[in-house]
Amino acid sequence: MGRGPRVERRKDGGLVLRDLPPAIGLALRELRELLRPDGEGRPARLAGSPYAGDEEGDGHWRRHAEPELRHLFESARTTVLRDLEGLAPESIFRGGLRLPIPAKHVAAWLSTLAGVRVALGDRHGITAFEMDAGFPTDIKDARDRAVLLVHLLGWVQGLLIDPEEEPGPGE
């Protein structure tokens, strides 16, 4: 019998997400589509300057920061897509899925999941009320599906964050 979804920490610091339910498996497989070059999960927030009306700052940001941000996103995206190839059934006797994530990939996973969730939220105008309402049960259209994916991928993100962990600067 499965023991419910959980995170196992390996001796090398890597994580194994164990006994993931089928809905999470579907969301993780959907992640691959969302991260395609034309996918809905491509973050728009990377673009745009943080300076409000400061021309010098805007120009500097466009020239230097935006290309670096795009590079960081692509690098994290590649890491996540590679790790997703390890998503597999626990065994032929158990329905759950397992996903190993090396320790040095956890930061890439956290930022990629955040990026995809924020991109879906921006694109579909998902509200705080919908986030507080929990998992939607009646999926009627693409927007409902996006709300569900934001919740499911957030559940994975929460699983990866150890509340006792003290993340080091520059991790």
Tokens of 87: 């998503």
Among 104, 101, 129, which Cα is nearest to 28's? 101
> Which residues is 99 bridged to in the sheet?
17
CA distances from 29 to 51, 58, 91, 166 (A): 37, 37, 18, 30
Beta pairing, strands 88-91 & 94-101:
antiparallel
Span from 9-17, 19-27, 133-141, 150-158 in contact with another protein (CB under 8 A): 150-158
Q: Does 26 bind another protein (CB under 8 A)?
A: no
- Min separation Cβ 40 and another protein, Å: 14
Q: Looking at residues 30 to 59 of the shown chain, list those that interact with another protein (rule: CB under 8 A).
A: 43, 45-46, 50-52, 54, 57
Question: Which stretches of the chain bind another protein, using CB under 8 A?
Answer: 43, 45-46, 50-52, 54, 57, 60-61, 65, 68-69, 72-73, 110-111, 114-115, 117-118, 120-121, 126-128, 130-131, 150, 154, 157-158, 161, 163, 165-171
